[in-house]
Structure formats: structure tokens, C-alpha cells
């Protein structure tokens, strides 16, 4: 049998898995692998500027496509630089595989040059990890890593490859099928539980679907839409669930929780049945947990049994893949002769009433750009046909509240970890997957500086991501909390010195524009789209605008502060 080096096996395995793209950064111990990449240009590699960027790009690629994102870095500092990216993907259950180089097996544990115990360091934030100690194990391990990352509740998998494993030889023993006795994710939902859930829907007068990122990762948005429309049930989404239901539909409630819409939070508080679909009752969603959905029976569908009843006790648990369960649920509700529409008529009327209070209205000011206005301008330009990413803070919440989202996998944001610096590299990953789409990172002036170096990557690869900075000169969300809960003491939340973002863009070879008046916003963004070049649109916005509604941390979600 032909023998191959570990590096050759690495490339052959990735090609076998139909990997189109690797985001990576070379260094000493991964040079044998990089040499193979050099010889195999059909496996595209994007050179990043910082390993954190590589992992966020792989993550953005994965969120936008549903495929496994791949990053490759060297040992020691290369590996430790990936940790925030891995934790970000872990918290949001994103399928990525991160390959780290490791010092030769004989040196492991010796504090060798550029050695880091990356398996130990990342253990609490990976779905699984492997140290490959024998080249014979390399191909089977890569196959397993992809399988584990992408099945069940998806998540990041780390594969640590010592240098000698990359140079030793073995046959190419890539398994046709991965079978693990200790890992058998539940796919199909239990029929009896599904019928129970259908009964509950039939008997409910005030039902709500509470939708999380699980619906998107299971590609179940289509089934959800059918179900909601057929049963005439309103839908609210978490930050991670945004895009799974058409935001222009009248059953759409928008986001719930801390910065949720008035109607979503009121509906949850008033509901008699809450059906959680791939959502995990995060504290940002539930507010004060004892007063969360106090009148409702709780049903929960999740592929991960550990999510069920974790924070809120669930009356009707269904474990299974959401696309399977929702398909079966659609069949189950269609079998029932229920006048669905009239059953929830009053409920939907009540929701329309809440909606009409329009708590997302904001005060406009002449000659001042309101951050919300920028997002509305973007809606008009893209008509929803774009992929958005966000940074973290006010920019993220306004994006969640104001962007028109009609399709899943078009709103990529760090929900669980809340990682500033996520949005821009994630946008590069999404743009690499969809070179012809408009990809916009909604940014804050602070967050964008956390991974701004990736402008180099975007320009080198000609990936025309548009960064729209809502520039308030503050760590805006921190300032908002300090204003509301710390009596206006703005402790270290003002960025007194900022770079000239236009010059910065230009220095990298990107397009830059600074806008200070409302009427300049749309032309600048249109120009960036037309140029098909990476761009920064630096929008100088109202400095002390707050995100409303807001539920103070720990308060019940119907007790919202309004603008």
C-alpha cells in the first residue's frame, strides 16, 4: 500500500471531506503541512493576520453556509490565540474544526519551544478534542472531528498535530463512515411527545414559539414557517434565532429579552403556552427567572438533552433534531381539525395592539445621524438581500432590532460569549463563501479595533466586506449601563483617542469614508457596494443614544425601560 506523510494525509483528508477553504497562519511545527498546501492549491488557504481572526472567519463561514469551517495554526502562541474564537463558536454551537500544530511527540511536556497544552487550555470550550499521537490515527481522527463538529448539537473540535505526526508515514486509511459507540446523537423525535406537543398547541389560546439558534443550525426555518402560519402562532426569536422567521410577517414578534421588543416580552409574559425551539432560556432572555412566562406551560424541543429543563422546568420535553421534529409536528397539527385561525384571533389582535405602541420609534434630530437611522438606510439599500454580521454592544442590539431579516444564516453575531471583534472576521468568512453577496459588518468604534488588522486579509483576498461603524466615541453599551445604573459615572468607557478610520482603510488599500450628516449615509454605503472593495464607512452618530427597550439585568422581562 502506498505510504503518505501525515501532511499529505492531512490534505487528502480535507479534500475527501470536500473542504473548500482553510483560514490559517503558519509557523514552525506546521511547516510540513504548509508545504503540502503549497503543492495543493486546489485546497484554498486564506492567510489571516491574527489566529483569532482565522477562527472567527471559519465560524462566519460555517454560520453562513452550514458547512464545517476550518482553521489551521501553529503551536504555542498560534494555538493560544485561537482560544477566544473557539469559545465563541462553542457558546453558539457552531461547527468548526481547528487544527493546531504541536511540538514533536518526544518533546511534549518538556516546555519545549512554542509548546502549549492547548488540549488542556481549551478543554472546557470544545465539543471534543484530539491529540494525534500516531500518523496512522490522523485520517480517522480528522474524519471523526468533522463528524462530531457537525452532528447532534454542533460545536468546535480541536485537533492537535505534533510535528513528527505530520512527517511520519502511513497508508491513507480514511474511513468511509464514522461510527462511534459512545456518541450517537438523537435524531428523530419521539412521536408520543410530538403528539403531546400538538395537543398542547391545539388547546392553547395564547401560544408563542420561542425560537433560538437551534432552528437555524438544523436548517429547520422552512418547517417553522409552515408550522407558525398553519397554526397561526406568533414567533419570537432570540438573538441567535434571528432570520429564522420573516421579520415582515404579522406573526413575527421580533427579538425577546433584555433588548427585546415590547410585544415579544409582553407576549411571553402573557402566553399560556411557550414552545421553545432550539433555545436555551439564557438569562439575557428570561430576565428574572421566577417571573418568566408565569402563566405558560413550557414545551421544549432540543437536540441536546442537557438543554432541556436546564434553567426553566419544562412540561413537554422533546429531544430530537429540529428539522425532524418540526416536520412531524407539521404532520401532527394538520391531522387535527382545529380552527387554528379563530382560536388565536384575539391573541394576535392583542399582539397587534402591543405592536402599535411602536417602542422602537426614536427621536430624530436635524443634522445628527441616529444609529437606528443608519440601519434603516441599510435596509432600504439591500432590501434584505445581504449577510450581516455584528460586533458587540449597542451596535449589535440595534442591528438585531432594526435590520430586516428574511432568511436564516444572514445574521451572524456572537450571542453566547459576546465577543467584541467577532463581526469583521466573521464577515470575511461569510464573504469568502459568498463572494457575490453584499456582506456588512455592523460595528462599534471600539469593537472594530479588536480585529481591525484583518483589513489586510480582506484586501489581499479581494473580499469586499463593508464595515459600517456606528461611531459614538464610547464603549457605548458600557456607557449606557454606567448612565443608567452607575449615576453617569463613565469610568473608562470613553475612547478619547481614535484612529482616522478613513486613513486607516486607505493605508490597507481599502475604501474609507466618514459621514457626519444623515443624508450622506446612503450614498457612502452605495459607493462602497459599487466599488466592490473592502470598505469602512465611519458614521459619526449621536454620542449618547441608548438602546431601548431595556430590561435591567435581573428584572422581569415585562418591566421594560422605554425610550
Partner 1 sequence: MRHTISVLVENKFGVLSRVSGLFSGRGFNIESLSVAPTMDTSTSRMTIITRGDDAIVEQITKQLNKLIDVIKVSDFKNEEYVDREIVLVKVNAEPNNRAEILRMTEIFRGKVVDVSPKTYTLEVTGSEGKVNAFIEMIKHLGIIEIARSGKVAISRGRRTLG
Residue ranges that bind partner 1, judged by CB under 8 A: 119-120, 123-124, 127-129, 131, 148, 180-183, 304-306, 310
Return the closest-CA partner of residue 517 out of 370, 360, 361, 382: 370
How near is the Cβ of 550 to ligand TPP at its closest, in Å? 13
Site for ligand TPP in 373-412 (CB under 6 A): 391-395
Residues 318 and 277: their CA atoms lie apart, in Å, by 10
Q: Could you tell me the smallest distance in angstroms from the CB atom of residue 395 to ligand TPP?
A: 4
According to CB under 6 A, which one of 251, 256, 438, 475 is a site residue for ligand TPP?
Answer: 475
124 interface partner picked from ligand TPP, partner 1, none, CB below 5 to 8 A per type: partner 1
Stretch that binds ligand TPP, among 101-109, 210-218, 225-233, 413-421 (CB under 6 A): 413-421
Using CB distances below 5 to 8 A depending on partner kind, what does residue 315 bind out of partner 1, ligand TPP, none?
none
446 binds, among partner 1, ligand TPP, none (CB under 5 to 8 A by kind): ligand TPP
**Cβ distance to ligand TPP smaller for residue 317 or 476:** 476
Q: Tell me the three cell numbers of residue 363.
A: 427621536
Partner interacting with residue 418 (select from ligand TPP, partner 1, none; CB below 5-8 Å by kind): ligand TPP
Residues 158 and 311: their CA atoms lie apart, in Å, by 29
Taking a C-beta distance cutoff of 8 angstroms, is the pair 562, 546 a contact?
no
- Nearer Cβ to ligand TPP, position 150 or 394? 394
Q: If residue 305 lies in a helix (H) or strand (E), which one and from where to where?
A: none
Residues 430-469 that bind ligand TPP (CB under 6 A): 444-447
43 binding partner (options ligand TPP, partner 1, none; Cβ < 5 to 8 Å by kind)? none
CA distance linking residue 510 with residue 462, whole number of Å:
10
Q: Contact 513/369 with Cβ under 8 angstroms?
A: no
Contact 144, 109 (CB under 8 A): no
Which of partner 1, ligand TPP, none interacts with 148 (beta carbon under 5 to 8 A by kind)? partner 1
Q: What is the largest CA-CA distance in the chain?
A: 76
Residue 127's binding partner out of partner 1, ligand TPP, none, with CB under 5 to 8 Å set by partner kind: partner 1
- Choice from 269, 359, 472, 482 touching ligand TPP (CB under 6 A): 472
Number of residues that bind ligand TPP (CB under 6 A): 19
Pick from partner 1, ligand TPP, none: which does 204 bind, CB < 5 to 8 A by kind?
A: none
- Residue 310 C-alpha cell reads as 436546564
By CB under 6 A, tell whether 548 contacts ligand TPP: no
DSSP string, 130-154: EE--SGGGHHHHHHHHHHHHHSSS-
In the bound state with ligand TPP, the residue whose beta carbon lies nearer, of 410 and 419, is 419
What are the angstrom distances between the C-alpha of 78 and each of 52, 84, 132? Answer: 9, 12, 18
Contact 408, 216 (CB under 8 A): yes
Question: In this structure, what are the phi and psi dihedrals at residue 68, rounded to the nearest 5 degrees?
Answer: -75, 130
SS3 7: helix
**Minimal distance, residue 480 CB to ligand TPP, in Å:** 7
Nearer Cβ to ligand TPP (81/472): 472
Radius of gyration of the chain (CA): 24
Q: How far is the CB of 483 from ligand TPP (least distance, A)?
A: 12
| CA distances (Å), origin 457, targets 67, 427, 447, 465 | 21, 12, 18, 11
* SS3 assignment, position 441: strand
Could you list the residues that contact ligand TPP (CB under 6 A)?
Answer: 391-395, 418-420, 444-447, 470, 472, 474-478
Amino acid at each position: 500500500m502506498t505510504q503518505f506523510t501525515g501532511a499529505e494525509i492531512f490534505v487528502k483528508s480535507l479534500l475527501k471531506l470536500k473542504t473548500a477553504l482553510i483560514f490559517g497562519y503558519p509557523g514552525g511545527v506546521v511547516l510540513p503541512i504548509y508545504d503540502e498546501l503549497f503543492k495543493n492549491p486546489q485546497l484554498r488557504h486564506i492567510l489571516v493576520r491574527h489566529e483569532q481572526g482565522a477562527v472567527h472567519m471559519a465560524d462566519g463561514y460555517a454560520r453562513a453556509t452550514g458547512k464545517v469551517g476550518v482553521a489551521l495554526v501553529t503551536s504555542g502562541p498560534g494555538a493560544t490565540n485561537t482560544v477566544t474564537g473557539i469559545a465563541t463558536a462553542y457558546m453558539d454551537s457552531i461547527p468548526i474544526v481547528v487544527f493546531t500544530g504541536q511540538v514533536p511527540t518526544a518533546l511534549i511536556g518538556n516546555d519545549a519551544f512554542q509548546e502549549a497544552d492547548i488540549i488542556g487550555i481549551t478543554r472546557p470550550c470544545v465539543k471534543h478534542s484530539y491529540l494525534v499521537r500516531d500518523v496512522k490515527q490522523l485520517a480517522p481522527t480528522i474524519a471523526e472531528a468533522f463528524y462530531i463538529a457537525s452532528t447532534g448539537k454542533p460545536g468546535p473540535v480541536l485537533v492537535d498535530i505534533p510535528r513528527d505526526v505530520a512527517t511520519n508515514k502511513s497508508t491513507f486509511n480514511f474511513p468511509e463512515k464514522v461510527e462511534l459507540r459512545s456518541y450517537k446523537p438523537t435524531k428523530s423525535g419521539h412521536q408520543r411527545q410530538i403528539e403531546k406537543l400538538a395537543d398542547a398547541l391545539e388547546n392553547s389560546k395564547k401560544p408563542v414559539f420561542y425560537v433560538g439558534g437551534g432552528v437555524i443550525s438544523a436548517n429547520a426555518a422552512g418547517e417553522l414557517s409552515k408550522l407558525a402560519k398553519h397554526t397561526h402562532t406568533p414567533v419570537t426569536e432570540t438573538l441567535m434565532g434571528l432570520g429564522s422567521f420573516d421579520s415582515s410577517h404579522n406573526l413575527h414578534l421580533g427579538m425577546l429579552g433584555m433588548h427585546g421588543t415590547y410585544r415579544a416580552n409582553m407576549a411571553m409574559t402573557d402566553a399560556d403556552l411557550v414552545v421553545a425551539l432550539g433555545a436555551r432560556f439564557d438569562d439575557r432572555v428570561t430576565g428574572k427567572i421566577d417571573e418568566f412566562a408565569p402563566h405558560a406551560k413550557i414545551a421544549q424541543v432540543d437536540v441536546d438533552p442537557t438543554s432541556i429543563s436546564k434553567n426553566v422546568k419544562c412540561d413537554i420535553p422533546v429531544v430530537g433534531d429540529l428539522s425532524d421534529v418540526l416536520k412531524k409536528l407539521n404532520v401532527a397539527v394538520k391531522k387535527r381539525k382545529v380552527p387554528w385561525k379563530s382560536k388565536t384571533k384575539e391573541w394576535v389582535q392583542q399582539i397587534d395592539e402591543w405592536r402599535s405602541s411602536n417602542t422602537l420609534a426614536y427621536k430624530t434630530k436635524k443634522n445628527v445621524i441616529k444609529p437606528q437611522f443608519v440601519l434603516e438606510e441599510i435596509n432600504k439599500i439591500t432590501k434584505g438581500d445581504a449577510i450581516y454580521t455584528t460586533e458587540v454592544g449597542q451596535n449589535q442590539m440595534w442591528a438585531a432590532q432594526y435590520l430586516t431579516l428574511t432568511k436564516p444564516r444572514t445574521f451572524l453575531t456572537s450571542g453566547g460569549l459576546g465577543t467584541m471583534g467577532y463581526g469583521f472576521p466573521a464577515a470575511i468568512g461569510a464573504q469568502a463563501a459568498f463572494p457575490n453577496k453584499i456582506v456588512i459588518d455592523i460595528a462599534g468604534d471600539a469593537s472594530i479595533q479588536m480585529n481591525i488588522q484583518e483589513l489586510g486579509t480582506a484586501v489581499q483576498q479581494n473580499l469586499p466586506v463593508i464595515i459600517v461603524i456606528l461611531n459614538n466615541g464610547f464603549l457605548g453599551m458600557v456607557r449606557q449601563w454606567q448612565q443608567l445604573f452607575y449615576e453617569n459615572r463613565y469610568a473608562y468607557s470613553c475612547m478619547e483617542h481614535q484612529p482616522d478610520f478613513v486613513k486607516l482603510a486607505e493605508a490597507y488599500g481599502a475604501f474609507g469614508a466618514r459621514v457626519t450628516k444623515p443624508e450622506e449615509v446612503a450614498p457612502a454605503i452605495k459607493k462602497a457596494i459599487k466599488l466592490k472593495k473592502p470598505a469602512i464607512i465611519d458614521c459619526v452618530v449621536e454620542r449618547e443614544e441608548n438602546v431601548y427597550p431595556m430590561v435591567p439585568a435581573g428584572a422581569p422581562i415585562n418591566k421594560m425601560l422605554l425610550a
